[in-house]
Amino acid sequence: MTQRVQQLVIHGLTTEGQRFRPSDWAERLAGVMSQFRPAGSVGGHLTYSPYVVPVVLEGVRCVVVDHRLRDLEPLAWKFVCGFAEDNKLQTSEQEIETPPRP
């Protein structure tokens, strides 16, 4: 059974349409957020959180932030939203279907 998940997409484009720098900003942001994971999640090495994932969409570096992060850790949600706002980055919302988490 799948579930619908709302996601915030932070695009690597400013509101003026300029590419955001440095070029590895998405990986850096996702790396900072790597500690925020679902309950019971384990890993012996550095991996991205399933809630904050760097991706390339239509040739633009982006970070996809799962709305469930807001309930898991409200300050982490505030941090990523503040990052986008402070750097004047474009954002959008999307909804996807995913398998339920155990």
CB-based contacts of 68, cutoff 8 Å, min separation 6:
5, 51
Q: What is the CATH number of the domain that holds 39?
A: 3.30.70.2340
Hey, which residues does 19 pair with through a beta bridge? 13
Does the pLDDT value for residue 97 go beyond 90?
no
Mean pLDDT score, 71-79: 94
Q: For the chain, what is the domain count?
A: 1
State residue 11's pLDDT score: 97
Q: What is the pTM of this model?
A: 0.84
Rounded Cα–Cα distance for residues 69 and 78 (Å): 10
Beta-strand runs (E) in the chain: 3-14, 52-57, 60-66, 89-98
Rounded Cα–Cα distance for residues 41 and 66 (Å): 16
User: 41 lies in which domain range?
Assistant: 3-98
